Amino acid sequence: MFDNLKKAFSNVSTGFSEKDLNEKDIEDVLFELEINLLESDVATEVIDSIKDSLKEKIIGSRVEKKNIQNFVKQSLIEYISETFDNAGHVDLIDRINQKKDSNEPFIVVFVGINGTGKTTSLAKVANLLKNEKFSLAIAAADTYRAGAIEQLREHTNRLNLKIIAQNYGSDPAAVAKDAVLYAKSHKVDCVLVDTAGRMQTSSNLMEQIEKITKVVKPDMKIFVGDSLAGNDTVNQAREFHNHVKFDCSILTKSDADARGGAALSIVKVTSSPIIYVGVGQEYDDIVKFDKNQNHNNQNQNQNHNNQNQNQNLNLNPNLNQNLKVEIVMILSMVLKLMTSMIMLICMMYLHQKLMMRQKN
Ligand SMILES: Nc1nc2c(ncn2[C@@H]2O[C@H](COP(=O)(O)OP(=O)(O)O)[C@@H](O)[C@H]2O)c(=O)[nH]1
Ligand SMILES: [Mg+2]
């Protein structure tokens, strides 16, 4: 994922001949870097921070012109690496194991905007934890989006897991609380709470998530971000982090993203680590985040070796709705075409009749 990011400065600023750098040289170099980082999907505020830090370094180190390219490239690699290291490390499985002795369930709440892959990532994590022999209960606390409960129920049916759900419009915090009570009384290791990604307003959504977290006091809050959404993902991460101080993130759809800028930006803006990366649409298409790995082609290298293999997780209700709308549109077009053809045949028939009458 980060190969391109690290290469962001490999093909610029080789044409210096004089020994000393002047202000304009530095500006030119940083401008080239900015373009390359923008192309790698790094958020603009993160680019500004990189530029500031490099400018300081270049001036402070009195780099010679002929070494500037290598210097900037090396500094960029260090910056990326330090950003990921400074965000710390979170291991979900370790954390659940640590809480197991207390006989209390480990509660995880998934947050993020609609369509980023929250429910799908929850299902992938559920599958992963099930394979680690943890017992699970899933809370359908997205009671807002049409089809959300059915989507989650389909996952829990496939994975043979317990789901706790109420009706649409019911209080998500109450659903989450129900799931926690169920987990306590049945000695379940872990509760995964799905949440809504859109309400009437963004403040409604944040209030709702804050209420859920107050009521169930989760051990971990995971932000789910779409690696294809660029600056949007970073803005979402910041907003969620301001309201619910999530512990870590899952970055989805990295199978379709070769640039890595979203990961760097989320980690920089929230100072929290990415724990997993979604690399496809099957249950096994989730890998631990590794700052040195290229995650975008990792789903092709995976062993899809459990019983849930080849089950496509694209159960998104909106996508299904879109498909339904398209089918209805095609059918109505076919109907219109057929009506026009029938009318044409009728007209031709009448025309022929008229001609025969005229002849007679
Ligand atoms: N290619 C790819 N698609 C994904 C990934 N994660 C989720 N999706 C798709 O993203 C869409 C939205 O996912 P969903 O879980 O419903 O998002 P939610 O609204 O945040 O709950 C679905 O079509 C998923 O199949 C991923 O890692 N790779
Ligand atoms: Mg969902």
Hey, what's the torsion of the CAs at 37, 42, 46, 52, to 10 degrees?
0
The reported pLDDT for the residue numbered 213 is 96
The reported pLDDT for the residue numbered 328 is 65
Which pLDDT band, with edges at 50, 70 and 90, does 17 fall under? very low
pLDDT at 16 over 50: no
The reported pLDDT for the residue numbered 112 is 95
CB of 253 sitting under 6 A from ligand 1:
yes
Q: Which residues pair with 195 in a beta bridge?
A: 141
Q: What is the mean pLDDT of residues 220-242?
A: 91
CB of 120 sitting under 6 A from ligand 1:
yes
The residue whose CA is least distant from atom 7 of ligand 1 is 117
| pTM of the full structure | 0.81
Q: What is the mean pLDDT of residues 45-50?
A: 92
Q: Average model confidence (pLDDT) for the chain? A: 86
- 203 CA distance to ligand 1 middle (Å): 24
Given a contact cutoff of 8 angstroms between Cβ atoms, the answer to whether 244 and 193 are in contact is no
For the stretch 316-359, pLDDT in tens is 655 555 565 566 667 777 888 888 899 899 899 998 888 888 87
Q: What is the mean pLDDT of residues 176-186?
A: 98
CB of 255 sitting under 6 A from ligand 1:
yes
**What number does the ligand 1 atom closest to the CA of 314 have?**
25
SS3 at position 118: helix
The bound ligand whose nearest atom lies closest to the alpha carbon of 141 is 2
Residues surrounding ion ligand 2 at CB below 5 Å? 118-119
Sign of the four-CA dihedral 203, 208, 212, 214 = positive
The reported pLDDT for the residue numbered 18 is 47
For the stretch 82-120, pLDDT in tens is 999 999 999 999 999 999 989 899 999 999 999 999 999
End-to-end Cα, the chain, rounded Å = 82
Q: In sequence order, what are the residues at sequence separation of 6 or more whose Cβ sits closer than 8 angstroms to the Cβ of residue 215?
A: 173, 174, 176, 177
